[in-house]
Amino acid sequence: MVKEAEAHAEEDKKRRALVEARNQAESLSHATEKSLAEHGDKLAATDKALIETALADLKSASAGDDAGQIEAKSRALSQASTKLGEAVHKATQAQAGGAGDQAATTKGDDKVVDAEFEEVNEQKRSQG
């Protein structure tokens, strides 16, 4: 049984690498599709098309049995989707900048009172 396991160790290692590459590709594909659906309107048409092409390439590679090819397509999609991340970041910064200006104008309206207090125990109060 040990000899049999040793004989198939290399085959098992390749199979494991393939499964891990497919899992990573599936996760990356799902995250990219979700981001495109939510923020795709913030991208230029050429950038969006580049991401969609890389996504389709990764999905077709995932159907095959070449872990190296799947990993290469995953890297290509990650690199292409950086444009999406940049667009989302710029949009978030623009919104935060507008909200920060609004918060700065209403900041001086709060009135803060600084006070000290002392707890008084009712039993000591009645005795003393």
User: Which helix (H) or strand (E) segment is 82 a member of?
Assistant: helix 82-106
Model confidence pLDDT, tens digit, residues 109-118 = 567 777 777 7
Model confidence pLDDT, tens digit, residues 33-45 = 999 998 888 888 9
Structure tokens at 11: 């085959």
When the pLDDT of each residue in the chain is averaged and rounded to a whole number, the result is 84
Model confidence pLDDT, tens digit, residues 6-21 = 778 888 899 999 999 9
pTM (2 decimals)? 0.67
Minimal CA–CA distance to 29: which of 59, 63, 72, 64? Answer: 59
Given pLDDT bands bounded at 50, 70 and 90, which one contains residue 105? low
Overall average pLDDT of the 62-76 stretch? 94
Domains and CATH numbers, the chain: 1-85 (1.20.1270.10)
